[in-house]
Amino acid sequence: MRYNSIFDLKNKVAVVVGGAGLIGSEIVKGLSDFGAKVYIADIDKQAAGKIKTRGIKFIYLDIASEDSIYRALNAVCEEAKGIDILINCAYPRTDDWGLGLEKVTFDSWKENVNNHLGGYFICSKVAAELMKKKSGGVIINFASIYGVVAPDFSIYRGTKITMPAAYSAIKGGIINFTKYLATYYAKYNIRANVISPGGVFNRQDPLFVKRYADKTPLKRMAKPLDMVGAVIYLSSEAAAYITGQNLLVDGGWSVW
């Protein structure tokens, strides 16, 4: 065996839900570089169009619509003769996302939980059922450090940024739901894992960025590129015996 081929994704079909976003677009390019045939499944065709890597295809998928998810994933499966890798990294949120807890209405909470956690549920379920027909596959769901630890609100003080309450519930739910997927679908050779990023630098308020970096053992915020190695690893044969795990890519944020 040639060990340097264990990360090879040649002939694999990968669907990146939310692939037009900050993290998703980097993942799309990484998967493609490792040989996968990649589909961006997103509501934002324009943003997807800015990703210039050759061979990448776009399919419209609205994670808030069960019907849209069924149609998009089945269409990819039919065209590409199966789905091997599903990455869930869409980030749907309501217009009032970011309000302090006291101001969050129950309707807003429900909509965010439904669209985000619920959307990851439907995408995972539909993809897993399609993967069953092809003797296996890989599901990677994006959660967050805030699915594991509570926010330290002192780093947001004096800025317009905050961390919404629903995010903790959604991301904690995604982590545990993925463990469920791992044991439920193990007999079909479907592996399910989580990647939990730390805060990704995206030109936030410098005050916040400094406080965030100071609190992080590696002394910086994450870059979208930091997520690519984790995705390639978990998607590939290198992680053939890994399922149900939550890989924290957070510069050490969650260790203390």
Ligand X SMILES: NC(=O)c1ccc[n+]([C@@H]2O[C@H](COP(=O)([O-])OP(=O)(O)OC[C@H]3O[C@@H](n4cnc5c(N)ncnc54)[C@H](O)[C@@H]3O)[C@@H](O)[C@H]2O)c1
Residues in contact with ligand X by the rule CB under 6 A: 18, 20-24, 42-44, 47, 61-64, 89-92, 142, 144, 197, 199-200
Q: Please, what is the minimum distance in Å from the beta carbon of residue 42 to ligand X?
A: 5
The amino acid occupying position 90 is A
Q: Smaller CB distance to ligand X: residue 114 or 189?
A: 114
Q: Smaller CB distance to ligand X: residue 162 or 189?
A: 162
215 vs 182: CA distance, rounded Å: 33
| 58 three-class SS | strand
Q: Smaller CB distance to ligand X: residue 181 or 237?
A: 181
CB 199 within 8 A of CB 209: no
Q: Please, what is the minimum distance in Å from the beta carbon of residue 88 to ligand X?
A: 7
By beta carbon distance, the residue nearest ligand X is: 21
Percent of residues in the chain assigned helix, strand, coil, to nearest 5: 50, 15, 35
Q: Please, what is the minimum distance in Å from the beta carbon of residue 11 to ligand X?
A: 26
Q: Smaller CB distance to ligand X: residue 93 or 134?
A: 93
251 vs 212: CA distance, rounded Å: 11
Partner residues linked to 15 by β-bridges: 39, 86
Q: Smaller CB distance to ligand X: residue 173 or 199?
A: 199
H-assigned helices in the chain: 22-33, 45-49, 66-80, 106-112, 119-132, 165-185, 206-215, 226-235
Q: Smaller CB distance to ligand X: residue 38 or 61?
A: 61
Token match 């984790």: residue? Answer: 230
Q: Is 14 exposed, middle or buried (0-12, 13-18, 19+ CB in 10 A)?
A: buried
Q: Please, what is the minimum distance in Å from the beta carbon of residue 121 to ligand X?
A: 14
Q: Please, what is the minimum distance in Å from the beta carbon of residue 122 to ligand X?
A: 11
Structure tokens belonging to residue 191:
């592996």
Q: Please, what is the minimum distance in Å from the beta carbon of residue 12 to ligand X?
A: 21
